[in-house]
Chains A and B, each alone.
Chain A
Amino acid sequence: MTKLVKALALLVMLMLVVPNVILAYSYGDPNQDEVAESFKEIAVKLNASSVDWKGASEIYKVRRAEIASHFGESIAVTLDHNFADKNKALVLSNFKYVLVLNLDRRFEYALKDIEDYAKSKLLLAKAKGTFGVLSPYVEAKKPGLESKILIAFDAALEALGNPGLFGVGEESVNPQEFEKQTSYILQSVKPLFPYTAYKIAATPKPTAAPTKKPETNTVTATPLPADKQTATPVATATPAEVTAAPMEETPLPTESPETSAAPVESVEPGPENSSGSNEDGNDQPSPAAEGAEHAPMERSDKTNPFISVLIIGGAVLIIGGGVWYARKKGLI
């Protein structure tokens, strides 16, 4: 009986050790956000003189799980279809919307962890890294706004205070001010980057005459939940209009604020879009709701696989050693 208790105690100890070790985690460059960096790379590939859809899709695929995890499967499905349709304008505009959601995510968790100075500062830096990627488009759409937002970032940083060390440099944290500044940033940026959801055709399956496109198929993009909604304009663009701006991203966005602020967006789906393959193709994804329970970072994608292998190997050795020791001592 005593041996059994000891063996169980040993097992419990091992179980306590293993998860702590395996959760080792890397945040990467503090001033860069990987979702935003992926967008930059995709934009370069899609704006090359010879558009590289394969390369852009591969970059997206690496980031897809994180996008689905944090912002909702429906947004990832929309981007899937934008890529499948090789609709450059929608890929870029919807990805920019994802970056806005990413800003929201970083701010939300920075506020949640605001008493943890190092963590909230890192999340704010990631948010600033995200904004850094969006900022040329922000400036193109609303000249003068970029500098105001950078000032708000500085104020948000100041609101984090500073724990100092040994009483030196200590500054108290101001969550209300942080929330005020980050809300201003979000409310300023959100309306500039509307979302165009992928929509399953409500009509029956295509008839025997597949070459005949549906006459209309309007999508109304209202991607944010009511409590997160700001005055997000809903854009209108026909495929022809969308594709008429192939060089949108080079070197700076050429789309004007007026274009993005158009009242209604309609997208005419291609034949494959109406095949009904999108199981989660609602128009109103709830990214915040879906992402609310997620960690501020996507663990699966950011853990250094080499370190993980080492750590898991170490854990296996510890367990093996524990079992060996227990057997040697006659515990099991």
Chain B
Amino acid sequence: MRRILSIILSLSLISASLTFLVSSATAAEPVNQFNITVDAAIEGQIKAFAEIKAMFDTKDPAPVLADIKAKYIEKFQAGAKALDVFIKAGDPKIDETIIATLDLAIEGKLNLGQAKQAIDKGLQWYFYFLIKDIINKKAKPAMESGDTATAKVELEKAIQIYAGVLQATAAKRDSKFKTTTQDLLDTVVIPALQADVTKKDVLGFNLHRQMLDKTLIKVFILATLTYAETIPTKPVADQPAAVTEGYFFYMSVYSYLKGGSAVDADYIKNAYGSGDPSKINLEAIKLAVTRAIIGKVSEYGNAAIAKMAAGDLPAAQVYAMEGNMFVAAGETFIKEKYGELAYTLATAQGTQFLETVAAGDITAAKLQVFGTVKLISGINGVNFKINSKTLTVNGVPQTVEELAYITPATSRTLVSAKFLSESLGAEVKWIAASRTVVISKDGVIAELAVGSTTVKQNGQVFEGLTLDQPVVIKNQRSFIPLKAVADLLGFKVFYNNGEIVIVK
């Protein structure tokens, strides 16, 4: 009897072991082109995303918005709220925005199409932020601590989300704009990240995660432009849903573009956020996106140089890659302005910039940053030479009466009020009583008094800036220190060998 029981027990154990092995083998099987192991929780979210979208397409019975909201709350709300915590105070939050849209649709104030787009594009916003969260807060720390097993698991979750949700969005944008974001992600960026984990290459991982993030930003920027273009061409009944679609796509990148140019990022948010199709102006949105991208390129170029100066070359390389990727995000603008070859040359220059930064050659790196901002200043920005009467604004040459000049004492560039208004489009007034120059641009008011080293911004003394070169009166005209004013108005000034570029 004991022998029989022993045989039965052994058979049970063998059977259980085999079952475990088979199920493990099934779970570990690579399921897609990226050769990754599927994460069940992520798979469940992607499935729920497909299901909740399908709930809008039922005919009989018709879609029930309350059920859709309940499904959203059940499957996504907690995750969305967790990501919302990291969104800057005052900026739109994922969960709040989706719920608010659904509630308005339930009340009948928005239509079904708008609710559908809030779910579809709102959840793409959620999934994009989830990818960022996984990469930056889980995979990156794991790489830095040498725990490549965890880094691999987390990276594969991010890849799974991309493949399941955002890859199709990238393909659509590529089809319209003749870009190659999907191919870049599929054949270059993701394989590079996977190789970084295998090789335990932390710097490579940090560079390539920027490529992943900024390529997805480019996808959302292109989506924002798509709807700016197509909304006016759609039947009136379909326009509200398209505005909602554009709004939620744009929300994915709003915070980033705000860093490049707050006034421009807000303009786009308000245009889409109005819900009014007549407020969607393609050219104005293109200009705003361009300026915000240029702001990011110049910001990261300066940051890379600053890190080089501080001796932190790995951080400088990451900033250099971020700047480069924003150049790539501006692909359509560069090609539209200068043609295909200019974009090829810009990316080649970006490659050289990375090499120069890695080599620690700060002089060459500064020159390369100058070359890049000079190129993009032709799209939106100002370029001139000291002591030249030619001023190029947004690529268009103009003649100015007063020359810009450099004071030998402080090596600062001084420009006339007229020069400033013509170059930056700022409004400049001279208040004779207080001998003060008042400069206004995009809602910012800067006041500089003759002989004073302090400046006011919007009526308050600006604590962060003490002028080493005050306003000068020459030939009965006021001459203003360019860099200080540009800083106050949110512009950046780049100088090289007597040539100056001003960009956002």
Contacts and interface: CB of A to CB of B under 8 A. Distances in A.
B324 A162 contact: no
A157 to B, nearest CB: 9
A29 B180 CA distance: 14
B351 to A, nearest CB: 4
B175 A169 contact: no
Given A27-B175, A118-B183, A121-B183, A167 B354 contact: yes
Interface stretch (B15-23, B70-78, B105-113, B184-192): B184-192
B188 A165 contact: yes
Contacts of B191: 169
Contact of A166 (B175, B187, B351): B351
Interface string B150-191: 000000000000000000000100010010100110011101
Contacts of B347: 165-166
B497 interface: no
A169 B189 contact: yes
Interface in A143-168: 162, 164-168
Contact of B351 (A29, A30, A167): A167
B211 interface: yes
Nearest to A121: B183
A291 to B, nearest CB: 24
A168 B211 contact: yes
B365 interface: no
Interface in A302-321: 306, 310
Given A118-B183, A167-B355, A162 B188 contact: yes
Contacts of B183: 118, 121
A199 B207 CA distance: 64
B417 interface: no
Interface string A207-221: 000000000000000
B404 interface: no
A231 B441 CA distance: 75
A118 B180 CA distance: 7
A166 B233 contact: no
Nearest to A307: B233
Contacts of A165: 184, 188, 211, 328, 347
A36 B358 CA distance: 49
Contacts of B171: 30
Interface string A22-35: 00001101100000
Nearest to A27: B175
B208 interface: yes
Contact of B354 (A27, A121, A166, A310): A166
- Interface size class, chain B: 20 to 34
Given A27-B175, A30-B175, A121-B183, A168 B208 contact: yes
A129 to B, nearest CB: 14
B175 A168 contact: no
B352 to A, nearest CB: 9
Contacts of B180: 117-118
Interface in B197-233: 207-208, 211, 233
Nearest to A309: B233
Given A27-B175, A30-B175, A162-B187, A169 B355 contact: no
B189 A310 contact: no
A89 B157 CA distance: 50
Contacts of A26: 175
Nearest to B350: A166
Interface string B307-341: 00000000000000100110010000000000000
Nearest to B195: A169
Contacts of B189: 168-169
B192 A169 contact: yes
Contacts of B328: 165-166
Contacts of B184: 165, 169
Nearest to B180: A118
Given A26-B175, A169-B187, 4 more contacts: A27-B175, A166-B321, A169-B184, A169-B192
Q: Top 4 A-B pairs ranked by shortest CB distance?
A: A169-B188, A167-B351, A166-B351, A166-B350
18 contacts: A26-B175, A27-B175, A30-B171, A118-B178, A118-B180, A162-B187, A165-B328, A166-B211, A166-B321, A166-B324, A166-B350, A166-B351, A167-B351, A167-B355, A168-B192, A168-B207, A169-B189, A306-B233
